[in-house]
Homo-oligomer: A and B are copies of this chain.
Amino acid sequence: MHYEPDTLFFNQLSLFQRLYARSLSSRLAPLGVHPGYLGVLHYLWQADGVTQKTLNQVMAVEQATLSNTLKRMERDGLISRTPNAEDKRHHIISLTPRAATLKPQVMQAIGDLRATVNTGLTVSDRRYFKRIMHQMTEQLESDQSDPLFLLLDEIPE
């Protein structure tokens, strides 16, 4: 029975993403960092002490996802959430001292993996790849909102 191996683009894409996450995870684990934390760390290393809302505006995940990620990061001693007296609805999220010092090691791990993945590829290969991925991402973003727009068009004045 010669079954053609999985040719569905989606499955190949999923596999690629999962392998990337696994390799990242094994490099970050010794630092107590999970791949899902990267976006938050990356932002806070640039601008520490912001609200969840601010973070959410630049991170491409849903609010509930971010809320849960922050909870795990707090549990793992990477961030703290200090209540804001001015407006008790939001808290200020800041890096713990330990997390603040982690940047070079995390960046090293990321760079190391990037180099591994890029083995055998030229600079223009990578650029081309990212450009196409970006373009496809935009198509998907408009695909998600399409039904909404269609509905809006149908609303009478």
Contact = CB atoms under 8 A, between A and B. Distances in A.
Interface residues of A, number: 57
Interface of A (DSSP majority class) = helix
A121 B132 contact: yes
A4 B47 CA distance: 11
Contacts of A10: 20-21, 24, 35, 38, 110
18 contacts: A3-B47, A6-B39, A6-B58, A6-B60, A10-B21, A12-B133, A13-B17, A13-B20, A13-B133, A15-B60, A17-B17, A22-B140, A23-B140, A117-B136, A119-B139, A120-B135, A121-B132, A129-B129
A12 B117 CA distance: 15
